[in-house]
Structure 1
Amino acid sequence: MPYDTNGNYSLPTIYYAISGTVINPSQHNTPFEDVQAALNRPLLRDGTAPMSGDLNANNHKVTNLPNGTSDSDAVNYGQLKNALNNPTFSGEVSVPAVTDWAAYQAIGAKDADARYVQKASGANDYPALSAGVQKSSGSPWFSYVDAAGTTQWTFFQPAGDYATNKALSTEASSRASADTNLQDQVNNRVLKDGDTMNGSLIVNSFSGITAEATPGTANNGDYINYPAFISSSAGRGGHAFMQVQEHVGDSFSFLAAVANGSSSRYLRMGLGSSRINDSSFGDLAYTSDLPFSDKSLRWFVVRENVSKSNGGRSSHTFPSAFAAGSVPYVIPVGSREGNNGNSSLPIIDIDSNGNLAISNTGMTLYWTTGTGNSNLNAWLTYMVGGYF
């Protein structure tokens, strides 16, 4: 290149000629070719050729620049200062992307206290024409020119708390959902004056459920049945109930009953020393009525069939096992040989150690010869007692 990075030009070293030597073409042609390339790079003063790159003024001024007249002309400082001091506008003025309006107001504006907003430029928007506040109502407004060229005015609501359409829609949706939930809750409630449930009821409280009523005038000897808790097989006739019954002048009783059509059975439990009464079997007995003071001692009757086959021996298991390790008491109370009415005498067998063949789970019987037909079986009745 004919110039270095600082813009200084130097001839190629090959140009140097020495006296008394023959000049080679390379020594003559190359320097002139380099000079030609160097002269093509400077900017001519008469403007014959345009610039082919950016010009770096290196912090130096461009002086004696005339006023620009075309849109592509440079503007000198005097021309710019005159335009700023004496602005002339032929249309709307928009100030884009200004955040500090007080510091960046247009110089020379008619209303120095005015503030500006960015002009609307969307395809669906009309730019504002003017704005103000109506003195009589205090309502702010602005005007615009619509697509037909007619000036329109739009008023804002005065200062106060207002909801947007989005907020109103959200609130309306929330209210509708709340109304639906409330209606569902109402539909799932049981009415106090009577209703039908279609699901189970769980009472998570020690107070439970109370069914009560206040009777009218009642005479001594009358029976009053108070509200009952009823379980019913709908359409099949069966039902059961529990309730309080008052025998006016006497006492109160608790009734538990089951019924099917005209058939019924109930238990009545009264106060004091009265017993529980079964309408089908009378008063119930208690363990305290048994003739034994030891409540863990139990007796039951065993009826066994003993055959003379197998050597006359027959093992039998008790209906319920007695306490482990215990030996119950066995008392024969009757016998009959087959169907002929003859008596027989089966006895308790003994084991190989000479002990009675009785355990807590059963016993082994041995039928002696006795009277009657030795080929018949015998029916034996025993009372068996022991501890459970």
Structure 2
Amino acid sequence: MGIPQVADLVLESANAPGTGAFILGGAPDGRQTFADAFPAGGEVYYYASDGTQTEWGIGTLTLGSPNTLARTTVLGNLFGSKNALNFTASITVWSEIPAQRTQSLDDAGMLPVSGNPDFARDVALSAKVADGRYGAIGKVLQLTSTAVQAVTGPVTFSGITMVPTPTDYTQKQPIGASDADARYARLLGGNTWNNGQTFTSATSSQLINLVNTTAFDGTTWLNSPHLTHTVGTVTSHMFAQGSSETSASLAFVLGGRSGQLSNMTLSATGVLATSSGTLAFTSQLPFSDQALRWQVVTVRKTTGGSSSHTFPTAYKAGTTPFVIPVGSQEITGTSYGMPYLARNSDGSLAVSNTGFTVNWETNNGTTSGADAWLTYLVGGYFS
């Protein structure tokens, strides 16, 4: 429960509520309603009277049609009990602090407070209690084994200054070691960083510099300086390896609870090796034009002379592929000649993006008796 509220000139009429909540009926001229003075759900001090009997306590205001005031806690009544009175006639309800909740100054004009405050709550603290509990300037502070004195500081003990927990980090003020230890990155590590971290630098010097002479050896990564990214039971590791330019490499390792799952290493020479084998770059492929795509075409020619054959996959329209005969395997016949590409009437090779035409004559110059498998290497562009 919070501190109940009170306001000036709050007074309303109410029906005959019995022992239930007050159904508020409005304020006369010159007065204000509970809804005018207090928020919905607010706890307020109240008095209620029908002219013969009177009750006081703490009520909870509910706004609606009509507004109601629940009798949450009855602090007293005219008959000396804390029971809700049974009002059977119209009553008047108003805002006022009961005497038992009113503060009063003593003869010296001081406001007495409890000598046994609850230090877990925001309550007033007597000067006498504070003087015995906290270190005071100009006074000897005695620490015993039976009582630990809390210091909100700053107070210096044997050259060590104790400072309070700061609340405003934009101000130039001392900060306690425990606060700095939890808020700032320690040079010797041991930090746990939460949420996204942003690192900026206005110079070209290294912002984060991990130094260690132990390199990743392909199986053990925990001894080397590295960056990790963990999701569930899988962690990726990134290392810089080698103590010289010739031995330098960058390793990426994916590991799990069972150990290393896979790795990839980029060496200073540009070779990219993985746990599944070494990767080749396009510059290392046997053909200079990396856009060329090659097919092996095998056809059977059962007679000599001219015959046309279709590529398994057509090349880009308007382009002319390269057709290279690479061999033949005779089934029957005694031909000693190699098949050759036919020519069109204009003298160009009979090759299109969809196929080609080939001629083959037998050993006696005729076109009969041939039966063989012919193999061609075809290269061209698909796009």
Bin for the TM-score computed over the shorter chain:
0.3 to 0.5
Greater per-residue helix proportion:
1
Q: Which of structures 1 and 2 has the bigger CA Rg? A: 1
TM-score with structure 2 setting the length: 0.36
